[in-house]
Amino acid sequence: MRNRISCSAEALTQLDPDMVQSVVGRQVFQLGNRYYTENRVRILEGNHRQVSAEVNGTFGVYSQTIKLRGGTLSAKCSCPSTEQPFCRHCVAVLLQYFQEQANTSPESSSVVKTKDDVVESPSPSTSSDFNFREVTIFLDWLQMAIPSLGKNKTLPPNPSLPAGNVRNWAETLGNLHHRFLQTEEDLAGANADRQSTGERLITLTEELEVSRREAKDAQGTCVDLRKEIERYQQSLADFSKVEKERDRLLEQAMETAEVLGKKCAELDSVSLSVKSVSKSIQGLLPPAKALKTSASPKNLLVERDMSSM
């Protein structure tokens, strides 16, 4: 991660926590401040223009280089973070450097100066920073702390020691134990999440099996419906054929009725003609009395003889 921003400060010591927070935002500042308070920062060298340091991150140790030159503040970190404009590790370095410079005088600076400074001051972190009494106090505290180290227990309060290596030993052990407790909490949370995820997975598997059975039943229902639709379609086709045959027979019946109508009219006409002829014949016949006179035995004999010829 490497970034550059404009900066009105003339020295890194002017970058107080409020100014840093206003630049990086509250969330990144809180993460960097946590790294700083847990003593994860180690200043390698620095002055009012440039600081080099290392930060013990979550997944390893990362290197930082922060420079302030020509109104430009540039920060470089070996971490893969995408936090803008600076990562949490650079924030922790700025807070550590600002605090060290605020708590120490130029004559006893704990920061090793580079070639940009004329005078180099020795680091106070030497063997002269502690004595046998401090070591004895630390060892007594360590004896009480050992049963709690590596366990989910709280360490006894840090011993009252002056600033120096011995005090740093106790603080380092306290920070390591605190990180261990946080890791245990994270692990317990991860196990709970894993168990919850497993239970949820079982539930989802059961629901998937139920859905699979329902899908299979629905598929069978769809097959039955498809067959029923095919039967209906066949029935409609048959009905269409019957309807066409009905229309054909109806048309044929109408034609037959029309022919019969014509025949009936003809028969009526013939009937009238027959009646007319019948009347005409009746008009030509002699009266009934004449028929009786002409039917005498003599006439009958004559008729019989004529018929025998």
97 burial level (CB within 10 Å; 0-12, 13-18, 19+): buried
Residue 272 CA: distances (Å) to CA of 144, 260, 277: 147, 18, 9
pLDDT of residue 116: 39
Task: Please name the helix (run of DSSP H) or strand (run of DSSP E) that holds residue 305, with its range, or none.
Answer: helix 297-308
pLDDT of residue 51: 93
pLDDT of residue 103: 78
Q: Beta-strand (E) ranges in the chain?
A: 2-6, 41-46, 50-57, 60-69, 72-77
Asked if 71 and 7 touch (Cβ cutoff 8 Å), the reply is yes
pLDDT of residue 107: 41
Residue 199 CA: distances (Å) to CA of 15, 188, 196, 202, 210: 51, 16, 5, 5, 17
Q: Tell the residue number behind the tokens 């039917």, with chain if given.
A: 295
Rg (CA), the chain: 61
Q: What torsion do the CA atoms of 211, 212, 215, 217 make, to the nearest 10 degrees?
A: -110
**Whole-number Å distance between alpha carbons of 90 and 52:** 10
Please state the φ and ψ torsions of residue 69, each to the nearest 5 degrees.
-145, 135
Could you say which DSSP state residue 39 is in? T
Asked if 21 and 29 touch (Cβ cutoff 8 Å), the reply is yes
Task: Please name the helix (run of DSSP H) or strand (run of DSSP E) that holds residue 128, with its range, or none.
Answer: none
Amino acid at 185: E
CA-wise closest residue to 75 among 3, 157, 162: 3
Domain ranges of the chain: 2-114, 129-238
**Whole-number Å distance between alpha carbons of 141 and 188:** 29
**Can you spell out the DSSP letters for 129-186?**
G--HHHHHHHHHHHHHHGGGTTTTSPPPPPP---SSHHHHHHHHHHHHHHHHHHHHHH
pLDDT of residue 89: 93
Q: Compute mean pLDDT per 10 residues along the chain, 309 residues long, and list them.
A: 82 89 90 92 90 88 91 90 89 92 57 37 42 81 83 79 78 81 76 82 89 89 90 88 89 89 87 84 70 55 53
Q: What is the pTM of this model?
A: 0.37
Contacts of 278 (CB under 8 A, 6+ apart): none
Contacts of 79 (CB under 8 A, 6+ apart): 1, 57, 62, 87, 89
Token duo for residue 263: 């025949």
**Whole-number Å distance between alpha carbons of 193 and 232:** 56
